[in-house]
């Protein structure tokens, strides 16, 4: 498990687990945790795994 970065909304640590990002990158290239991405709406995000 490696630290991939921090959520640009809440600051929570986001990790890469076994090659999968534990969050999403939205259309504005912001790294978001799953909770914040759901709050912002699914139209803005593109999930990267």
**Mean confidence (pLDDT) of the chain:** 86
Residue-level pLDDT at 34? 94
Write out the two tokens for 36. Answer: 């914040």
Domain boundaries, the chain: 2-43
Distance CA 43, CA 38 (A): 10
Q: Which residues lie closer than 8 Å to 30 by C-beta, 6 or more apart?
A: 8, 9
Helix, strand, coil percentages (3-state) for the chain, rounded to 5, are: 15, 40, 45
Question: pTM of the predicted model, to two decimals?
Answer: 0.73
Residue-level pLDDT at 4? 96
The string of pLDDT tens digits covering residues 1-49 is: 999 999 999 999 999 999 999 999 988 899 999 999 998 775 444 555 4
Three-state DSSP at 40 gives helix
Write out the two tokens for 37. Answer: 């991405």
């Amino acid at each position: 498990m490696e630290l991939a970065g921090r959520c640009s909304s809440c600051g929570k640590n986001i990790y890469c687990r076994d090659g999968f990002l534990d969050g999403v990158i939205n259309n504005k290239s912001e790294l978001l945790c799953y909770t914040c991405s759901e709050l912002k709406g699914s139209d803005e995000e593109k999930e990267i795994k």
